[in-house]
């Protein structure tokens, strides 16, 4: 009887840790590979912050936002802001970014030249032939002062939007997956990290490289109605923790860069 009385009294006073509020379940979508691996490192940190993080992997880039909008998951971590903006414009999703996470920096690589300055006038630069990645490469070249683009081109400029080209570069547009192979035939090539790493290219060897906090930094997205809820803050703090930052730096060797 005394033990029962003690438990009841403790409950009334809110002093029984073992019977504290259950962890908040958060189902978060990610694509296989680095995004999912990073979330596995986030999971124990989140547990300490009262979050039961459940990772759901999707190999498709469209489904994670569909599932989030439908309430089948609480968050996702796989995309950058321009991609989310396009999805919202096309599909009417009420989703918001609540934190920047990591960048898979696009690089300009060369087998012929040790630096961008060594690329000759009239040199050939291979870029991706799809608007998203090709535009990203042109924006990188503009950011580094190599070219200038027409004002207001947004995130999908094309070679016809180049208005200043001091080196008189020639652009060869190829499939994104073929850009590493093109390095044998061109002065330089823009290569996405997911194609650079399997081809044996080290991001640190790029002669030009995106900054960690550029427009293509990846994000955590949630439904707009949830963005101010306490669990969102706890999730963001867990992801952007010193432990997770150390994991990213040790695991990926510069191929993935923390944005914080």
The number of distinct structural domains making up the chain is: 2
| CA-based nearest residue to 221, from 111, 114, 21, 80 | 80
CATH classification at residue 178: 3.40.190.10
Instruction: Name the phi and psi angles at 59, rounded to 5.
Output: -85, -15
Can you list the positions of beta strands (E) in 58-195? 75-80, 95-100, 102-103, 107-109, 124-128, 148-149, 162-164, 170-174, 188-191
Q: The pTM is what? A: 0.78
- Give the separation between CA 184 and CA 124, rounded to whole angstroms: 11
Q: Which two tokens stand for residue 172?
A: 């060869």
Q: What is the pLDDT of residue 163?
A: 98
> What domain range is 23 assigned to?
2-104+215-258
Q: What is the pLDDT of residue 20?
A: 56
List, in order, residues 6 or more apart from 223 with CB less than 8 Å away. Answer: 68, 69, 71, 74, 94, 95, 96
Mean pLDDT by 10 residues, the chain (260 residues): 41 45 93 94 98 95 96 96 92 98 94 98 96 93 97 93 98 95 98 88 92 86 98 98 97 90
Same domain, 99 and 17: yes
Same domain, 49 and 69: yes
């Amino acid at each position: 009887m005394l033990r029962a009385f003690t438990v009841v009294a403790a409950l009334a006073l809110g002093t029984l840790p073992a019977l504290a509020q259950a962890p908040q379940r958060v189902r978060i979508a990610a694509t296989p590979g680095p995004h999912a691996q990073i979330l596995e490192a986030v999971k124990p940190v989140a547990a300490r912050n009262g979050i039961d993080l459940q990772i759901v992997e999707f190999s498709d880039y469209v489904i994670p936002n569909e599932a989030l909008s439908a309430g089948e998951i609480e968050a996702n971590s796989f995309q950058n802001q321009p991609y989310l903006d396009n999805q919202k414009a096309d599909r009417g999703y009420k989703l918001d970014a609540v934190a920047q996470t990591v960048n898979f920096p696009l690089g300009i690589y060369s087998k012929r030249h040790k630096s961008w300055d060594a690329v000759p006038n009239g040199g050939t630069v291979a870029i991706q032939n799809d608007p998203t990645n090709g535009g990203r490469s042109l924006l990188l070249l503009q950011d580094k002062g190599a070219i200038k683009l027409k004002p207001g081109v947004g995130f999908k400029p094309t070679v016809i939007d180049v208005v200043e080209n001091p080196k008189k570069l020639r652009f060869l547009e190829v499939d994104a997956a073929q850009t590493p192979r093109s390095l044998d035939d061109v002065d330089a090539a823009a290569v996405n990290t997911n194609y650079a790493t399997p081809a044996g290219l080290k991001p640190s060897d790029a002669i030009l490289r995106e900054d960690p906090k550029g427009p293509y930094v990846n994000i955590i997205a949630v439904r707009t109605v949830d963005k101010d809820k306490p669990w969102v803050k706890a999730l963001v703090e867990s992801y952007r923790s010193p432990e997770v930052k150390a994991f990213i730096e040790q695991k990926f060797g510069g191929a993935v860069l923390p944005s914080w």
